[in-house]
Amino acid sequence: MTTTLREPNSIESLLGKEAEDLLTYKAKVSQDLIHLPGPDFVERIWLNSDRNPQVLRNIHLLYSSGRLANTGYLSILPVDQGIEHSAGASFAPNPIYFDPENIVKLAIAADCNAVATTLGTLGIVSRKYAHKIPFIAKINHNELLTFPNQFDQVLFADVEQAWNLGAAAVGATIYFGSEHSTRQIQEISKAFKRAHELGLATILWCYLRNNAFKQDKDYHLAADLTGQANHLGVTIEADIIKQKLPENNNGYGAIAKATGKSYGKTDERIYTELTTDHPIDLTRYQVLNCYSGRVGLINSGGATGKNDFAEAIRTAVINKRAGGSGLISGRKTFQRPFEEGVKLFHTIQDVYLSPDVTIA
C-alpha cells in the first residue's frame, strides 16, 4: 500500500527554492542503465547471486521491515557515534541515549527497517528486541581516546558475536585512501566472507580518509573518489553500501594538481559524459559504481544542523531520484527530542513512499 504525504506540498516546501530543479531534473545517465529499487528487488537482484538461502532471508528481512517494507527502500537508524565521536559529544544533546534501550526504541517507534549500532548496545538488549526489529551489528570503529587522536577503523567485535545476539547483518567501515586501508580491506573482506557463511547480510560504510583529499574543496565528498570507494566495497561483497552524498567531482585531478604527483586513474568521460555538477548526476555516478544499482546505495544523513528537516529531505530526494535505496540517519534524529526524531524519520520515509518523487 502506498502512503501519501500527511501534509500537502511538504516536500516542496522543505526543498524551498531548489524544489523544481530537484524534483524535475532529468539525469545525464539514463535510468535504463540502473537496476532500480522496487518490491521485487531481492528476488530480481539477489536470487542468482552466490548468497546462500540464509543470507537471502536476512537481506529480505531488511527490505521487508518497517514503514518502507517491500518498497525496495531502506530507512535505518545508525548509532555508533558513541565510539566514533565519543559518547559525551554524541549523547549530551539528548542524554536518554546513554541507555542503549532507547536507541532501539527510537528505531522501532520510527518504523525503521533496521537499527545499526555497536556490539554492546545490541548485546545488552538482544533478548528483548532481536525479534522485533532487524539488528545490524557494527563490528569495527574508530576510537578517539588515544592521544594524539588517530583515525583507524579497528575490529571491536567478530561475526560470531553478531550471529549469537541475533543480528540480521553486520556492518563495517573502511577508510579508503588512508594509510591503513589495505589492512582494513583485508580484515573486512574476511569478516564479510564469514558473515555470509553464517547467513548474515553485509553493509559497508565506504568512507574516504586522507588529509590530501582536503584542498580547495573537501574531496572526501567527490563523486569520482566516493564512486571508486563504492566499487571497492561491492568487490568484497557488501550487500548494501553506505556513502556520503557527493558535493563535488574530479577529486583525482584536484589532488594530483595540488600535490604535483600522479594520483590514481580516471577518464575525462566521467566528467563530460557520465556526470554534471548536478547533485542527482553526482549521486547517480555513485549508484553506477554499486554495480549499476544491483547493490543498494544508502546515503548518510549527516551531522545535526539548523535545518535538519530540510537537509534530510533534500538528501532523500537526491538519493531516490538518482536510483539509490534509502537513507541512514543518525545524529539528526537521536540528538533531538524523541518524538522529533520519530517525526524526522517519518518525513524522510514520506519521500520514498511518495509517487510524486520519481526516478530522474
* Nearest Cα residue to 350 out of 331, 333, 327: 327
Q: What proportions of the chain, in percent to the nearest 5, are helix, strand and coil? A: 50, 15, 40
Q: How far apart are CA 109 and CA 92, in angstroms?
A: 21
Triad 223, 139, 87: Cα angle to 5°: 85
For the purposes of burial, counting CB atoms within 10 Å of the CB of 217, is it exposed (0-12), middle (13-18) or buried (19 or more)? middle
- Hey, which residues are catalytic here? 242
As given in the structure block, the three cell numbers for residue 109 are: 517507534
As given in the structure block, the three cell numbers for residue 7 are: 501534509
The one-digit pLDDT tens for each residue of the chain (360 residues) are: 344 434 444 899 999 999 999 999 999 999 999 999 999 999 999 999 999 999 999 999 999 999 999 999 999 999 987 788 889 989 999 999 999 999 999 999 999 999 999 999 999 999 999 999 999 999 999 998 999 998 999 999 999 999 999 999 999 999 999 999 999 999 999 999 999 999 999 999 999 999 999 999 999 999 999 999 999 999 999 999 999 999 999 999 999 999 999 999 999 999 999 999 999 999 999 999 999 999 999 999 776 777 889 999 999 999 999 999 999 988 889 999 999 999 999 999 999 999 999 999
